[in-house]
Amino acid sequence: MTRVAVLKGGRSLERGVSLSSGARVEDALERLGHDVVAVDVGADLLERLRDGACEIAFIALHGPGGEDGTVQELLEVLEIPYTGSGVGACARCSDKVNAKHVLRDAGLPTPDWVAFSESALRELGAGNALGAIVQRLEFPLVVKPASHGSALGIKFARSAADVPAALVAAFSYDHKVLLERHVEGRELAISILGRPAGEPEALPIVEAIPRGQDFYDFAARYDIGATTFECPAQLAPALAARAQEIALAAYSVLGCYGFARVDMILAHDGEPQILELNPIPGLTETSLLPQAADAAGIEFDELVERILESARVRSLQAH
C-alpha cells in the first residue's frame, strides 16, 4: 500500500477533463488498495503534499502547468516520485514547436510549419514575412497555439484573408503560434505504455472518424457525436506497424517516460505525419489511451498500477 497524491484540476483550460481523469485514477488506486490524497492543484500544493505525507504523486493534470514540466520540476525539488514523463520531455512535448524541431532533426515526419512569437511580430515586424510564409506552406493552413492543449484556438485558414483573425485567436492561448501545412488523411492516436522492465510498447491504434460532411470543421471533432473512435483502427498490418514504429521513435527521441499519446495523420499517400505528443493524455473512461489499453487486454486498474510502478522504478534508479 502506498500513499499516493492524485494531482488534478488546476487552472488549465483543460481543468474539466483533468478532474474527470483524476477522479477515475483515484477510484482505481483505491481499488488497488492504495491510500489516496486527492489534490486540486492550486497555490497550496506544497502544503497539501507535505501535510498529506505523500510517497508518490500521480499527475492527472492536462495542459499548461501540469503537462509542461512545471509541476514535475516542483516534485523533483521535493524529491517526491511522480508518474509520467520527466521535466525535459514535458517541456519539449508541451511546446509543439520545440517538439516538431526535435522530430524533424531526428528525421521523423511532421507537417511543414512556420512558427513565430507575438514579440517577433511586434519587435521584428515578422508580420511582413507572413506573405512569404503562407506562400511556402500553401493553403489550407492550420493555425494553432504552440502550447499543447485541446482543440481550443486551432483555426483553419483557407485563404490569406483568414490568417490574421486565426492568428489573433491562436495568440489568445499562447505567446507563440505556428502555421502548419494541413495534411489530409486519417487521424490516428497511438498510445505508448512503458514497461517496468524493458522497452515501451505501442498499444493498438485508435482512429478518430469524423461523422460530419465538412472535413474542415474542426469544431465538429469536439462536438459530441460528431466523431466516432475505432480501436483497433482498420489498417493494413504493415501500415499499422510502420505508424507504431514512428510513434515509438517519437516517444523515444522526445525522452518520454511511463506513457504518452502520439497524434498523427496518415496522409493519403500512406505516410504518417506526427502532429503532436501528449505527455499526459486523458485518462477518463473513454479517453483514447485507456481505450487502446483495453484493446490490448490491459484493464484500467492494471494501466494505473503500471504507470505508478514505472514511477517507482525511475525513482529507485535515480537513487
Partner 1 sequence: MRDRHGAVSVEGDKRRRPARSTAHELERYGALFAQRTGRMRSSAMRDLLVITERPEVISLAGGLPDTTLFEPELLRSLLEDVASTSAAQALQYGPTDGLQAVKDCIVELMAAEGMPVAADELIVTTGGQQAIDLVCKTLLDPGDIVVAEGPTYPGAVPAFCSYEAELIQIEMDADGMQIDLLERTLDALAADGRRPKFIYTIPTFQNPAGVSMSLPRRRRLVDLARERELLVLEDNPYSMLRYEGVDLPTLRSLEVPRGSRDGGDFVIYTGTMSKILSPGIRVGWVVAPRPVLAKINLGKQSADLCSSSLTQYFVAAYFANGDWRDYINLVRDRYRQRRDAMLDALATYLPAEASWTHPGGGLFIWVTLPEYIDTTDLLARALRENVAFVPGEAAFDDGRGHSSMRLNFSSSTEERIREGVLRIGKIINEQVALYRSLTGAGIQDRPHEVAADDASMAPVVSLPQRGQRPRKRSREL
Binding site for partner 1 (CB under 8 A): 1, 11, 13-17, 19-20, 23, 26, 30, 33-40, 42, 48, 52, 118, 121-122, 125, 127-131, 134, 150-153, 159-161, 163-165, 167-173, 219, 222-225, 227-229, 282, 284-288
Catalytic annotation on 282? yes
How long, in residues, is the chain? 319
Write down the catalytic residue from 282, 305, 310, 314: 282
- Element at 274 (helix H, strand E): strand 272-278
Catalytic annotation on 278? yes
Catalytic annotation on 150? yes
* Cβ at position 318, least distance to partner 1 in Å: 27
Catalytic annotation on 112? no
* Cβ at position 169, least distance to partner 1 in Å: 4
Q: Distance between CA atoms of 31 and 70, rounded to whole angstroms?
A: 29
Residue type, 139: F
In DSSP terms, 229 is beta-bridged to 208
Question: By C-beta, is 145 or 194 nearer to partner 1?
Answer: 145
Question: By C-beta, is 109 or 150 nearer to partner 1?
Answer: 150
Q: Distance between CA atoms of 67 and 83, rounded to whole angstroms?
A: 11
Question: By C-beta, is 48 or 242 nearer to partner 1?
Answer: 48
Number of H helices, E strands in the chain: 12, 13
User: What residue spans of the chain are helical by DSSP H?
Assistant: 15-31, 45-51, 70-78, 87-94, 96-105, 118-123, 130-137, 163-171, 218-221, 237-253, 288-295, 300-318
Catalytic annotation on 251? no
* Cβ at position 63, least distance to partner 1 in Å: 11
Judged on CB neighbours under 10 Å (0-12, 13-18, 19+), 212 is: middle
Residue 131 three-state SS = helix
Write down the catalytic residue from 12, 94, 191, 278: 278
Question: By C-beta, is 161 or 236 nearer to partner 1?
Answer: 161
* Cβ at position 109, least distance to partner 1 in Å: 26
Question: By C-beta, is 47 or 269 nearer to partner 1?
Answer: 47
Residue type, 280: I
Q: Which three cell numbers stand for residue 84?
A: 509520467
* Cβ at position 197, least distance to partner 1 in Å: 28
Write down the catalytic residue from 12, 14, 84, 207: 14
- Strands 35-40 and 3-8 come out as parallel
Write down the catalytic residue from 40, 150, 212, 301: 150
Catalytic annotation on 207? no
* Cβ at position 301, least distance to partner 1 in Å: 15
Question: By C-beta, is 98 or 227 nearer to partner 1?
Answer: 227
Q: Which three cell numbers stand for residue 32?
A: 488497488
Per-position DSSP letters for 283-302, written without gaps between them: -STT-HHHHHHHHTT--HHH
Residues with a known catalytic role: 14, 150, 222, 261, 263, 276, 278, 282
